[in-house]
Structure 1
């Protein structure tokens, strides 16, 4: 093939692909996934130089070597190039000179099996403020000179030291999670740092970062032997995540009076005395602290979001919750509760989750929580939902505009729990259509059979009124040839939408 013919074919290819992908641009953003696998017509990315885009997202799963000339992407400000398969050794080659890619601000190269020698041109991206180079075997060799960076993410890069990081004087957000045995002492020079994430780094203490007095967000979760004795020095902390650190002594937290968000999920806590002084706290996660005593929560008057699932909270233990009148979101799933009468004063609740408990009766005051938008009570022992029927927005449930999620799985006859071979009457079948959305995932319908004419009508109306959907797994055929007892002995799953 002559050079002229080849050029003609190239031009034809570029024109065709340009027309094809210009139509996929939305608000200056082109997201094309793994184009080499999904679009067999793509052989190279040369056609991108014909398209005016500001954001380019490539999710690469092939072994194609991607070459992008900087002249192709002069207007680009966001480049998201993410691989998913290390074994296929994705390769990225950015040919950059001083005059090109001058507008690039965000670059995501995570999980592309890159090495240091492939990053030598990064320093030429003069406006780059966000770099995600996670899950590549690289260090700071070609990164430390990008002084424009404000956000740097290097998760799972096999870092052993961060000596060169001190030159990144504008860095505000740093994530070096899943890098073990790092010497953190150079971090103290990052005076602009406000957010630091070091999950799963094998940390035993945080002494080396206590000079970062401007830190507002600190995440040191999943460091099993962590102690936080010196954390009181971080006086500007507003958000702290120390979850998944078993047997953690939280006494030093008493000095962090400015904290707004605290996650101590699965820390083996039994006492919360240290939290008494955290009067500004608005979000607290106590999940999986099975033996925790929550009596000190009464001092946290500003709490809005409280998660305590999988805590062993007997009814008398949760009386303290009545003092938290600013709560809008409360999660008490799997807490061995029998009743929730103490929640009566919590009139600001918008989301209440009390699933997987031993609750028998829903207090009538639940119907007076006029702000409630989501209620989840599945897998309890409730059979009477009259308190919900008194809710001022009860009639709006079917409209889905106030209470958006009503979930009563496995609660007595109303949701057809046959674990104890309960039977349901015709009246209950008719009444069931009061709810627009009822989730009953543990009931599976193989067959519905009846010879009873009125029950046949009831079932028919029941199915029509709430658009009952029968699991495709069973490929059920409704045959009305048996009695009501057999119906509910054969019910294994019914879903409603």
Structure 2
């Protein structure tokens, strides 16, 4: 049994694996200056409104949080957020946390659609064991200084070598092979331990994703598409011209026939 919390000066509270359903028993109304809250193994929506009440929260850690995370849009004061092993399906709510400096989404899959264009203040990011194949989606994070992508399926580091502020990269247990990108990087700390050899299928998928996100290839594809469009427009105009030409020819033939008929009728009337 956890005692009631009556100390108004508590700034940090950790309640990992306590089987908590509600925080009411702890008299948390007294925690007027709470800045850090860590919870785990949560399957109850009851806690949501109770957490939102803490207007002074700066750091929130939720491990195995198996309920909705939309409530996070009401805690925009957060500068550090941990959502580990939370079975995330929709991360769009994170777009409202524009003050985030540190974000840990380790042990979650399907996070390639993160709204990172709104989280441009991030300086530290943890994405361990997320089944990531590509890092292209991290390009908006121009202020990122620390990145940990341990235990993923990454082959190419080129996208993150373009992040000029990135000084520390942890990329253990991946399939990284692009040594040239590493040589051209400005990393101060780089962990590439336990790299495995990628299969042909992994290389194929990685190359496809790299091509899709490569701006040079995108430009070539756009030019090709533009060329195809112009060619289609030319063919369409040519078809229209051919159609108009045929119609014009028919009109000319009709006029010629009508003229000949008129001349014949006039000639017949003259003989009479």
In structure 2, distance between residues paired with 1:159 and 1:218: 20
- For residue 17 of structure 2, what is the aligned residue in structure 1? 83
Question: Any idea what SS the aligned residue of 1:93 has?
Answer: coil
The TM-score normalised by the length of structure 2 is: 0.65
Question: Any idea what SS the aligned residue of 1:230 has?
Answer: helix
- For residue 103 of structure 1, what is the aligned residue in structure 2? 33
State the shift of 1:119 in Å. 1.7
Unaligned runs of 5+ in 2: 198-272
In structure 1, distance between residues paired with 2:45 and 2:137: 27
Question: Any idea what SS the aligned residue of 1:256 has?
Answer: coil
The TM-score normalised by the length of structure 1 is: 0.37
1:152-163 matched pairs, under 5 angstroms: 152-163=81-92
Residue in structure 2 matching 1:264, options 151, 169, 192: 192
- Taking CA–CA contacts closer than 8 Å with sequence separation of 6 or more, which of the two structures ends up with the larger relative contact order? 2
- For residue 127 of structure 2, what is the aligned residue in structure 1? 198
- For residue 250 of structure 2, what is the aligned residue in structure 1? none
Structure 1 residue ranges, 4+ long, deviating more than 4 angstroms after superposition: 96-100
C-alpha contact (below 8 Å) 1:160/1:183 kept by paired residues:
no
Higher helix share: 2
Answering whether residue 122 of structure 2 is matched by residue 164 of structure 1, we say: no
Question: How many residues are matched?
Answer: 196
Which protein is bigger by CA-based radius of gyration?
2
State the shift of 1:245 in Å. 0.5
Residue in structure 1 matching 2:181, options 248, 252, 261: 252
Answering whether residue 169 of structure 2 is matched by residue 233 of structure 1, we say: no
In structure 1, distance between residues paired with 2:45 and 2:132: 26
Q: Compared with structure 1, are the counterparts of its residues 250 and 199 closer, same or farther at alpha carbon in structure 2 (3 Å cutoff)?
A: farther
Question: Any idea what SS the aligned residue of 1:235 has?
Answer: coil
Q: Compared with structure 1, are the counterparts of its residues 247 and 165 closer, same or farther at alpha carbon in structure 2 (3 Å cutoff)?
A: closer
Aligned CA RMSD, in angstroms, stands at 2.4
State the shift of 1:194 in Å. 0.2
In structure 1, distance between residues paired with 2:88 and 2:123: 21
Residue in structure 2 matching 1:179, options 101, 108, 111: 108
Q: Compared with structure 1, are the counterparts of its residues 188 and 139 closer, same or farther at alpha carbon in structure 2 (3 Å cutoff)?
A: farther
1:288-303 matched pairs, under 5 angstroms: none
In structure 2, distance between residues paired with 1:245 and 1:98: 43
C-alpha contact (below 8 Å) 2:156/2:178 kept by paired residues:
yes
C-alpha contact (below 8 Å) 1:171/1:190 kept by paired residues:
yes
Structure 1, residues 197-217: CA drift from partner, whole Å, max 9, x if none? 101111111111111000000
Q: Compared with structure 1, are the counterparts of its residues 127 and 255 closer, same or farther at alpha carbon in structure 2 (3 Å cutoff)?
A: farther
- For residue 143 of structure 2, what is the aligned residue in structure 1? 214
State the shift of 1:78 in Å. 0.8
- For residue 476 of structure 1, what is the aligned residue in structure 2? none
Q: Compared with structure 1, are the counterparts of its residues 187 and 100 closer, same or farther at alpha carbon in structure 2 (3 Å cutoff)?
A: farther
Q: Compared with structure 1, are the counterparts of its residues 99 and 109 closer, same or farther at alpha carbon in structure 2 (3 Å cutoff)?
A: closer
Unaligned runs of 5+ in 1: 1-35, 37-43, 53-73, 85-89, 270-497
Structure 1, residues 198-238: CA drift from partner, whole Å, max 9, x if none? 01111111111111000000111111244323222211011
In structure 2, distance between residues paired with 1:268 and 1:183: 23
